[in-house]
Chains A and B, each alone.
Chain A
């Protein structure tokens, strides 16, 4: 028997609302602090190795988070292992870069093209997926991902993509005047003890631009998360999970397999494209070697490390696949480890080993580990059936056992007249 959690919150109760919105607010504050703190001074020293967590890298991680979110839809919820997410990431990056650089579009307006193009191309590759099951699909999509650098380097499209040298974009984000970034920075710098983390004085133009980019991309990412979370908790999402769990029985239950599978491919690819757009907005260049099949495999690493089939896993996954290789390549000496083991692609070795180890010890990814820990502190319970009066304002802290439920029912009957009426209607049913 597991130790009972400290807090039990019922869905819809005040405690739950405080927990939920408090969590969201804390997250927003944390993001804002990150934005200002790591703008130029995010230096961490690990055994004499300077490592700078810059805001740019965090924004890059955000782009990977969106791509992994897409992978969650197709691999996590629909159970179609796709090794081709890097293809759509690259496609989105290139389409966006070309429109911004050659046609003077703004980054956000390129989404009007990026999303439908990636969605349709994804759907087109989802159609073979109807007949190709399981590992075969992984094979085809891996081929696709391996092909991408070659495709954009072809002389046929070199006028648009600049072939091997990559498509660079000079357009920058300019923070609007109404946003008091300098003011916020000044306030944060005034905080005792930790004020130093936020630099000195006003922000330079490039710092302000980085923060503005980060804020916009986090908002865009939140929208993507909301869309996906609505999708997976509604009818299509249930259909996708039914397909994942048993394709045949899903079909027998009347799901349109073809529709839902291609749809999930399309959504995943569109999210890959959005991720690519964020990537280009941050790095300012789309070059063929950034979008190899290694990237697609790294996305799978992110998916698994974060947790397959969990939306929050995408966040952890994106951070891991950006920061592990990054940190490993900036670490050149550690006590007790020969230096030759710290040179070269140490990050990929760590990620590969991490992938294998996690499959053994924590198959649900880091998120499942966090959830297990959280369950020891807070448990969110569904509303008990039939208790319509347990709205906001009534904190019900008893677990739903048979005893507790009858107690609660008894309590409800002696409550207000309205609720008594309710329970009466319930008993007459």
Chain B
């Protein structure tokens, strides 16, 4: 086994895995509170990245300020969507909610394609170019370092937000028991809205760092495949665990870049590997590595 090649693939897995982790984090924020999977999460993130693109490239703002503004805009938009389309429904009845998110998936995807077209666009660089570290022939680019840093910083910030603030406490109360938290006076609606807003902001950040990869570019369908990887990552980590999403994301990234080539699986089947992981996790350990097992009462 070529050690340099292994290192290269390890670094690749880290950068891919971190972006999956960010989208998985967004899924987790919504799942935690309502056990709902937002199938439109990838599209939320994609359109968020387009906001960032417009702000930085067309409006000329510095790229990180554009990212921040893009996160704020998508958080506000998601809060609005939660208020108008999600909250009218009973949170425990999933079917209408899933159908709404599928409708959003179709609508947002189509809307982005209608506004920006299917042409690919180069996304502004978020991290310095070049390599941070060279070991033998293996190189660790600043992009990978940056993505991993952003991912861990986001997870850390989310942990602080959930554990150290009042709204975070309310959010944890709602995700632990919706009815009881309502009884003790938590305003459930705005709390869930907060979850949707945070999820959209994290998703926008995730999509931005994903398409900032020099070998990728921004186009309306860029997040469709990523969503599957992220779902797999979130399930592996346990759908309601913040750090589980990070672990799951990086694990899926490693599966894609290390297990798939060494097992001589054709590279296109990396998505298949993610689906298999998802299926195995749900079959044998539905609560994932770090999730809370669901106990059903009859």
Contact = CB atoms under 8 A, between A and B. Distances in A.
A363 interface: yes
A363 B94 CA distance: 13
A136 interface: yes
Contacts of A147: 271-272, 275
Contacts of B118: 344
Interface in A253-311: 293, 297, 300-301, 304, 308
A363 B103 CA distance: 14
Nearest to A347: B110
A211 B105 CA distance: 37
A140 interface: yes
Contact of B114 (A131, A146, A346, A359): A346
A352 B110 contact: yes
Interface string B79-93: 000000100100000
A140 B103 contact: no
A51 B35 CA distance: 44
A132 B107 CA distance: 28
B231 A139 contact: yes
B36 interface: yes
A128 B298 contact: no
A349 B37 contact: no
Nearest to A136: B282
B228 A356 contact: no
Contacts of B269: 150, 154
A343 B114 contact: yes
Interface in A97-146: 128, 131-132, 134-136, 138-140, 142-144, 146
A352 B107 contact: yes
B278 interface: yes
Q: Which of B95, B117, B274 has the most CB of A within 10 A?
A: B95
A24 interface: no
B77 interface: no
A140 B298 CA distance: 26
Query: Interface extent on A, as a size class?
Result: 35 or more
Contact of B96 (A343, A354, A359): A359
B25 to A, nearest CB: 17
Interface in B200-245: 224-225, 228, 231-232, 235
Interface residues of B, number: 46
Q: Which of A143, A144, A341 has the most CB of B within 10 A?
A: A143
A146 B228 contact: yes
Nearest to A293: B224
B58 interface: no
Interface string A144-175: 10110011011110000000000000000000
Interface in A300-351: 300-301, 304, 308, 340-341, 343-349, 351
B106 A132 contact: no
A248 B272 CA distance: 33
Given A348-B106, A352-B104, A363 B274 contact: no
A136 B286 contact: yes
Contacts of A128: 279, 282-283
Contacts of B266: 154-156
Interface string B85-127: 1001000001110111011111111110110011000000000
B272 A150 contact: yes
A25 to B, nearest CB: 36
B282 A132 contact: yes
A307 to B, nearest CB: 13
A356 B231 CA distance: 23
A21 interface: no
A363 B93 CA distance: 13
A140 B282 contact: yes
Contacts of A132: 279, 282-283, 286
Contacts of B11: none
A304 B269 CA distance: 32
B143 interface: no
Nearest to A356: B103
Nearest to B106: A352
A313 to B, nearest CB: 14
B39 interface: yes
Contact of B103 (A143, A153, A156, A359): A359
Nearest to A131: B283
Contact of B231 (A143, A150, A345, A360): A143
A410 interface: no
Contacts of B274: 143
Contacts of A153: 268
A297 B106 contact: yes
Contact of A134 (B94, B272, B278): B94
A144 B35 CA distance: 22
Contacts of A345: 109-110, 113-114
A345 B275 CA distance: 28
A349 B106 contact: yes
Nearest to A344: B114
Contact of B102 (A140, A248, A300, A344): A300
Contacts of B228: 142-143, 146
B231 A135 contact: no
A353 interface: yes
A153 B283 CA distance: 28
A65 interface: no
Given A143-B278, A352-B110, A135 B268 contact: no
A122 to B, nearest CB: 15
A154 B102 CA distance: 28
A18 to B, nearest CB: 38
B279 A140 contact: yes
Contact of A143 (B35, B98, B113, B232): B232
B109 A348 contact: yes
B106 A355 contact: yes
B37 to A, nearest CB: 5
Q: Which of A81, A83, A345 has the most CB of B within 10 A?
A: A345
A146 B279 CA distance: 14
Interface in B230-281: 231-232, 235, 266, 268-269, 271-272, 274-275, 278-279
Given A304-B99, A345-B110, 6 more contacts: A143-B274, A146-B275, A297-B106, A344-B110, A355-B100, A359-B99
- Shortest Cβ-Cβ A-B pairs, 6 listed: A352-B107, A352-B106, A355-B103, A143-B275, A349-B110, A348-B110
Interface of A: 79, 81, 83, 128, 131-132, 134-136, 138-140, 142-144, 146-147, 150-151, 153-156, 248, 293, 297, 300-301, 304, 308, 340-341, 343-349, 351-356, 359-360, 363
5 contacts: A143-B274, A304-B99, A347-B110, A352-B106, A352-B109
